[in-house]
Chain A
Amino acid sequence: MSEIKRRDPRKEWIARNRLHPQHLEVLAELGQGAASEWMGPNGVLRRNPHAIGFIGPNGIKRIDRSGAQQGVAGAGAATSTVVQKPLVEIDEPAFSVLVVPDMAGGRLSGHDRDLLGLARRLADADPEDQGAVVAVIFGPHKETSFGEAGIDRLLHLDSPDVAGYAPEARLGALAVVEQAWAPRHWLLPDSKLGGGEMGRRLAARLGERPATGVWQVEADTEVPSGWRCTARGAAESVDIQRPLPRVALALAECAEPVSETRHAAVELALPQPLPSMLSRIEDLGQVPVDPSGVALSEAEFILSAGNGVKDWEGFHHAAEVLGATEGASRVAVDDGFMARDRQVGATGTWVTARVYVAVGISGAIQHLQGIQTCEKVVAINMDPGCDMIKRADLAVIGDSARILEALVSLVEQAREEKRDAA
């Protein structure tokens, strides 16, 4: 909708005409209705209950308490339904908190957001002397909400030598960052996705003794850094309480993610080019693994079958061609088409797949619970009204056997073309 305000002479005329049957409604719409609340002369809030609400289509007075349609809300409010969070800009930060998120799959993960929440706590502790949260990310990404996650400055390093698995080149880049900004804190996720490894390498390079497995950080004025942390140690069997060191590797849910503010996420650039170094570790790329050998709970890509699948040969073939791990709903398992260990849902396995393709599954609540943490859900189903379609990011209504067949032929065709080109 365009932002230009258009006058409606007829409405203006109704607003002037007190005796018109739509007078109150139009007044409310134009935002000129009588004020329903005001401050009295003695500082007491006064209310006029007659001024609230509007006359509905059947001539009955309606009151909408959602706040969306209040008569006094003003006419302009209807256009901006998306509430913008307040933008926080820190121009002259007193110090910086460096965060190196994992960016698994090119996006900020839940773990990364928790870590950024922790970074915000460290940066915003003293409102007089606020710090900036700087995030360093490597390689291409698909993230669009850096500001919402609480990042003030963003350093995006996208040169080919830090792409892929290049721990030594990335470590060199982080050493340059350390020299350039001398951050007060370094925060990294203690995860298997690369953050744990990078953090330990960085700590070894900087000569700092990091805290690993940090899950709680609290302010403490007795220690020099002003913060204490609780960290897991000894195979998760002990808690270690210690002052927060400069480098910390934090577990997931170490803090609440940022939800109330937006930040600027200004792009930064390195003051000097990256040092070129000879890498002693050569990345030969990922190795194809047998998808059926991957445990269902940690599979990345699941093709799941339900009651709507009739052509089981075609389904298994599709899973093989797509390289997906097979899953099933309870009905498919009970009917003996799939093994019990393939069942997805509350009674089976809770899956964490990035992409979950549900073929002929209507979406019982137990099944939807099992796929709660999946990022992208694709549904192929005959029934456009089922619950799985409501959950899905992409739903295709149609015959599942034919759609899978078409998908398989498309993938095979694409592979053929690639082979011919190579």
Chain B
Amino acid sequence: MQPDTTMTPALEVTVLVSIGRHPVTGRARRADQDARGVELARSLADAEVSLLHAGELAEASEPALRGYLGMGFSELSLLEQPEGADVLPALAETLDAAMPQLVITGERAERGEGSGLLPYLLAERLGWPLVSGLAAVESVENGVATLLQALPRGQRRRLKVRLPAIVTVDGAAPAPRQSAYGPARRGTFETIAGPVSRDEAWAEWQVQPARKRPKRLKIVKAASARDRFKAAAAKAEGGGGQVLTDVTPEQGAEAILKLLREEEVLR
């Protein structure tokens, strides 16, 4: 039985997917954060999810795109763009025409410049709010989404945002489901033509494989040999901490509590 969709119109969600790069082998794959975004969209109740990729369909990248289809989709919209093009105008135009309620992307691409700017530029261009680093979508009601944002150190923040909005997905979002081979083979690509603009600046920059970053050395700036020796031979010390001896447990606990309050780690 089909769910009754006449009462509440389905939430239109577009997930922007890109071609990832395996960190070890360098082979094309589903981009990790984008796949998490697809998983997040799949977990939304009454959502009509569509996939959108801007790029060209090459032999090397086709299995990666089919990987997204294998997550339970029958088609993927392919916005045709040549290699080295700036996809922003075409994407903005397509999204403006389709008017989805929610656009989900990964934070950064795994190929190319990978600056993580695209969602911000899209949001600025479309005039939509943007929320970055999402861990979960809690609910969507009356055009307002309640989101859970992932913060460093495993913390979470709850936000409310008015739709339409663009959200980016953090690595803390639920892991993507495995891609099923059969649906991935059967899925089709629906190509859309879009305006092509060249990325001139990118062509001018020098790109080379990442060099290992130099490790920072501990430099001791001391005028005399005695100071340098003391610095080299010194044990790790906190530098004159407060030591409470002969106190009752209550007084000690109070001092600790004061420090914990100052550091704002108690909730």
A residues sitting closer than 8 Å to B (CB atoms) are 65-67, 105, 142, 165, 168, 192-193, 196-197, 200-201, 203-205, 209-210, 212-213, 215, 232-242, 253, 256, 259-260, 280-289, 293-295, 298-301, 322-324, 354-355, 357, 368-369, 372, 375-378, 380, 384, 387, 389-399, 402-407, 409-411, 414
Interchain CA distance A405-B256 in the complex, whole Å: 12
B1 at the interface (CB under 8 A from A): no
Interchain CA distance A313-B202 in the complex, whole Å: 60
- Report whether B21 and A411 are in contact in the complex, using a CB–CB cutoff of 8 Å: no
For B, the interface residue count at a CB cutoff of 8 angstroms equals: 83
Give 24 A-B contacts (CB < 8 Å), ordered by A residue.
Answer: A66-B227, A142-B262, A196-B116, A197-B133, A200-B115, A232-B210, A234-B21, A234-B109, A234-B113, A235-B114, A239-B210, A240-B207, A242-B204, A280-B129, A282-B161, A283-B157, A286-B156, A298-B152, A300-B265, A355-B265, A394-B241, A397-B244, A397-B246, A407-B257
CB distance from B227 to the nearest CB of A (A): 7
Residues of the A chain whose Cβ atoms lie less than 8 Å from the Cβ of B211: 239
State whether A233 and B112 are in contact (beta carbons under 8 Å apart), knowing that A295-B154, A300-B155, A372-B236 are contacts in the complex. yes
CB distance from B29 to the nearest CB of A (A): 11
Give 5 closest A-B pairs by Cβ, nearest first. Answer: A294-B154, A406-B253, A396-B252, A407-B253, A280-B129
B208 at the interface (CB under 8 A from A): yes
- Report whether A395 and B243 are in contact in the complex, using a CB–CB cutoff of 8 Å: yes
B interface, over-half SS: mixed
Interchain CA distance A260-B222 in the complex, whole Å: 11
Interchain CA distance A195-B249 in the complex, whole Å: 42
Interchain CA distance A377-B241 in the complex, whole Å: 9
Scoring B111, B225, B253 by chain A CB atoms within 10 A of each residue's CB, the highest score goes to B253
- Report whether B256 and A394 are in contact in the complex, using a CB–CB cutoff of 8 Å: yes
B201 at the interface (CB under 8 A from A): yes
Residues of the A chain whose Cβ atoms lie less than 8 Å from the Cβ of B158: 284-287
Interchain CA distance A390-B267 in the complex, whole Å: 29
- Report whether A286 and B159 are in contact in the complex, using a CB–CB cutoff of 8 Å: no
Residues of the B chain whose Cβ atoms lie less than 8 Å from the Cβ of A298: 152-154
Give B204's nearest chain A residue, CB to CB: A242
Known: A289-B155, A390-B238, A397-B244. 6 other contacts (CB 8 A): A235-B109, A240-B207, A242-B201, A280-B165, A286-B158, A287-B155
- Report whether B266 and A204 are in contact in the complex, using a CB–CB cutoff of 8 Å: no
B254 at the interface (CB under 8 A from A): yes
B231 at the interface (CB under 8 A from A): no
- Report whether A378 and B259 are in contact in the complex, using a CB–CB cutoff of 8 Å: yes
Interchain CA distance A67-B27 in the complex, whole Å: 62
Which of B74-82, B90-98, B117-125, B189-197 makes up part of the contact surface?
A: B117-125
- Report whether B235 and A387 are in contact in the complex, using a CB–CB cutoff of 8 Å: yes
